[in-house]
Structures are given as structure tokens and as C-alpha cells.
Amino acid sequence: MENSKTKSIITAIALSLVLASCKAPMATVIKDEVKENIPQNFNQQEQQDANNNSGTTPWRQFFTDPNLVSLIETALKNNQELLITLQEIEIAKSSVLYKKGKLSPTVAAKLGAGVSKAGRYTSEGAGDATTDIEAGKEMPDPLGNFEGGLMANWEIDIWKKLRTEKESAVAHYLSTVEGKNFVLSNLIEEVADNYYELLALDNQLDIIQQYIKLQERALEISKIQKQAAAATELAVKKFEAELAKSKASEYTIRQEITEKENEINALLGRYPQQIVRTKESFMSTIPQTVYTGIPSQLLSNRPDIKQAELELKSSKLDVEAARKEFYPSLEISATLGLEAFKPSYLVKLPESIAYNLAGELAGPLINKSAIKANFQTADAKQIQSLYEYDKTILNAYLDVANLMSKVKNIDQYYQLKSQETKALDESIDIANQLFRNSRADYLEVLLNQRDALDAKMELVEAKQKQLSTVVDIYKSLGGGWK
């Protein structure tokens, strides 16, 4: 009768736990409109070839300048941001090992010693006083206790909560790997862009130095003409002022070159030193032809999209694990060892052997506010991760679409600037000849020279933008990390 009553109580408790678990809330489900509606092409008027995608080209094949390749190799070894990211991967890897370890039983060894004395007028004290340890040997008072053995504890993963937590940790670990790849892609883009900017500054410095020589010759001519009464002191002063302005611009560019070199050195993780480069071929460099493929390939090529996708997967698993906190948990604990009141009795077997085995099923019934809060936090984070994923996809598509347009427009801009520069160069020669023959005013010469200088400077900037835009679209297509 007693056993039947005990079984009924245990059954009632188990049913209460199961019923309580049935009230676990469900995760919020939001339809991913951005991923499902990604356009078929970047430009609706043009069909892209899915088999041609520059984003899959390894960076060593994409960049052909040996000096730039050398700089990128150094950056990949020494860049501090990249090294920090690598440690984030190690942290995430350790988290996977920790979650995996929770699936296995915990076993520990223990040694203990102690002494206790029970009051004589207690049930324990009265029992000890009338009990013999052995025939003719009374129970010691106070009573010592020496023990040694093994302890084991194991949470049985009956709802696969621990496995879900491990899967979430694995997804987060993989996202950190993709995060590292995105840092690689950004780093290569930054090194290349700064390298082209440095070459542009080198060429602008050459232009300003050529302009200074031109101004010096113009100043000499104006002085000669003044002596011949063919020009005034005003013309001389105007040419002197223009020459001083050009020399000041030269030092400004020199400072920009120093800062740009140090910016590259910072990316390379080293102290300031000269950047090895060849400036002579800069203006004749032809940009790489870039093939975009189709928009859906961004999902597999761009590491930031893959990182966001894995973080979304991890956050969804976190919600699932948080939901399973509402379910009852089953833990088994066991101990096995030797225990006696004196060390010499520990070797008396089997009398000194002690063991314990217990199973415990426990689950929340009331006051679940902490578990509910944890679930709501996890649910909000997975919604947040979905929006982050969608934002990353949308930004990636817009990046490529904008840069495709920029490539075409900058090419046209460069061609027209080339024509402008050529025409102004010719006009300088004509203006100088007319000035020597007193058939043109000094202001005409100055304006022609200034216009030519501005056009040449802008042409160099256009070449730099032309090359940098190709690098940017290569990175936007997911290139640079392979």
C-alpha cells in the first residue's frame, strides 16, 4: 500500500513537470523578404553571366603589381586588426569545446577528513553511545571521518538542449571564421586603395615640379620683357606670386605622401619606412576588367553575408535552447570510494566501501520570470540577427550596383579629362609663344598654365579613382580573401 502511494506521488510530480513544459513559448517567425526577393541582375537592362564572376578570383591573380603584392603579403602577416580577429576565432573555438564538454559526465576525485561530535541527548548521540564499532569497541567520541573516492555528475540531454547549445556555439565559431575572411578582404582593399593613392600623389608631385620649372621660365621671360619695356612690374610680381604658390603646394603634397606612406605602414603593422613602388607606369596602367556574375552569388561569395547568416543560425539555436529551459532536466549523480572513522580501517574491505547513486528530475513550476526573460532576450536577438542579415544582403547588392555605374562613368570622365589635358598643354605652348612676342597678356599665360595644372591633377585623380573603383568592386563581389 505504501509503495503504491509513493508511485502515485512520483507519477503526479512527473506529470506536473511535463504539463509545465508544454507551456513553453514559441519563437517569433518572420519571413525573409530581402533574401527571397533578391533581383536576378545588378542592372535590369543588362544580363549578367553567372559563369563569369571576378569575386572568385584569388587576390594574387587579380593584382599584378609585384610591389603591391609584397605589401599585401606583409599586411596579412602583421596587421593588428587581423591578429585580433584570429584571437576571436580561438575564443569561439574554446566555447565550442566548453559546450561539447557539458554533454559528457563530470568525474572528479576527492579526499576528505573531518571530525564530528553529536550531543549525547540527541538521536544520533544516543545511538552512537549504545553502538559498538566492533565487538567490545565502543563508538569513538568525537567521531573521525576519512574518505576518498570518485564523484560523477551527468545531466542527461533528454530534450537535446545541450546539443542545441553546442550547435549554436559551432555556428558562432564558423561566423568568426567568416568574419576573419571579411577582415582579410577589407585589409587587401585598404592596402590597394592607399597604394594607388600614394602613386597618384607621386605623379602629382612630378606635375607640380614641372609646373614650378614652367613658372620659373615664365618669370625670367617677364623680367626680360620688363627690361625691354614690353611688360610691367605687375606681370613680374604675378609670376613671382604664382611661383611661390606652386612651391607651397609642393610641400603640401610631400606631407600628404609622408602621411599616406605611414598609413600603409600602419596597415602593415610596422614602424614608418619607405614604401617601395614604381610611379612611372601609373598613368599607363589599364584597370582590370571586372565580371560581376549574378546577385545571388553574393550569398556564397561575400564573407560578411555568410557571417551574418551564421550568426542568424546561431541566434535561432539560442532561442531553441532558451525554450528548452522550460522543460524538466534529468541529472544523475554517483559516488564510489572508501570511508571510515580511522585511516587504518580504510583498507578493510568490503566494510569501508561506500557508494551513492541518485537521479533527479527537476523542472520549473512557478516563478519562471528569469527563464521567460532569457527566452525573450534570445527571441529578440534572433529577430535582430535576421534584420542584420537582410541589411548586409541589401548593402552588398547596392555596393555592387553603385560601383558598376561608377566604373563606367569614371572611364568616360578619364577619357574626357585626357582630351582636356592634351588641349590645354597645346594652349600653353601657344600662349607662351604669343607672350614672348608681346601678342598675349601675362594673365592669359597664367590662366592657361593654371587650367593645365588643374586638369593634369584631376587626370591623375581620375586614374587613381579608376583603379581604386575596380579594387572596391572586386571586394564588393566577395573577392580578396581567397
- What are the structural domains of the chain? 27-104+158-328+373-477 (1.20.1600.10), 107-156+331-362 (2.20.200)
Yes or no: say if 401 and 410 are a contact pair by the CB < 8 Å rule: no
For residue 220, the model assigns a pLDDT of 86
Is pLDDT at 243 greater than 80 in this prediction? yes
* Beta bridge partner(s), residue 357: 334
Write down the pLDDT at residue 443: 67
pLDDT of residue 454: 92
Question: pLDDT tens, 68-90?
Answer: 999 999 999 999 999 999 999 99
Strand spans (E) along 63-171? 106-116, 132-134, 137-138, 143-156
Q: Which of 103-112, 167-176, 299-308 has the lowest mean pLDDT?
A: 103-112
For residue 23, is pLDDT > 80? no
More confident call, 23 vs 378: 378
State the average pLDDT over residues 450-477. 95
pLDDT value at position 482?
82
φ/ψ bin of 193: left (φ > 0), alpha (ψ from -120 to 50), beta (otherwise): alpha
Looking at residue 144, its pLDDT comes to 82
pLDDT digits (tens, 9 = 90+) for 409-444: 999 999 999 999 999 888 877 777 776 766 666 667
Q: What would the mean pLDDT of 43-65 be, rounded to a whole number?
A: 86
In order of 220, 328, 351, the CA distances from 357 in angstroms are 106, 20, 18
Q: What is the pLDDT of residue 230?
A: 67
**Looking at residues 215-227, what average pLDDT do you find?**
83
Predicted local confidence at residue 223, as pLDDT: 85
Sign of the four-CA dihedral 78, 81, 86, 90: positive
The confidence score (pLDDT) of residue 46 equals: 67
pLDDT of residue 131: 78
Instruction: Identify the top-confidence range among 13-17, 43-47, 454-458.
Output: 454-458
Res. 115: pLDDT tops 90:
no
Rounded Cα–Cα distance for residues 211 and 214 (Å): 5
Burial environment of residue 399 by CB neighbours within 10 A (0 to 12, 13 to 18, 19 or more): middle
Res 435: pLDDT? 66
For 388-416, how does the pLDDT look when each residue is reduced to its tens digit (9 = 90+)? Answer: 999 999 999 999 999 999 999 999 999 99
Q: Choose between 438 and 476: higher pLDDT.
A: 476
Average pLDDT over residues 1-26: 58
Q: Which of 223-237, 257-271, 443-457 has the highest mean pLDDT?
A: 257-271
For the ranges 35-44, 153-162, 423-432, the lowest mean pLDDT is seen at 423-432
- Indicate yes or no: pTM above 0.95: no
Q: Are strands 137-138 and 132-134 parallel, antiparallel or unpaired?
A: antiparallel
% the chain with pLDDT above 90 = 60
- CA 87 and chain centroid, separation: 12
Mean pLDDT estimate for the chain: 88
DSSP letter string, 434-468:
HHHTT-S-HHHHHHHHHHHHHHHHHHHHHHHHHHH
pLDDT digits (tens, 9 = 90+) for 176-212: 999 999 999 999 999 999 999 999 999 999 999 999 9
- At 440 the pLDDT is 63
Of 146-150, 246-250, 262-266, which gets the smallest average pLDDT? 146-150
> Mind listing the pLDDT tens digit for each residue in 282-336?
999 999 999 999 999 999 999 999 999 999 999 999 999 999 998 888 899 999 9
Identity (one letter) of the amino acid at 402?
N
Better-scored residue on pLDDT, 47 or 371: 371
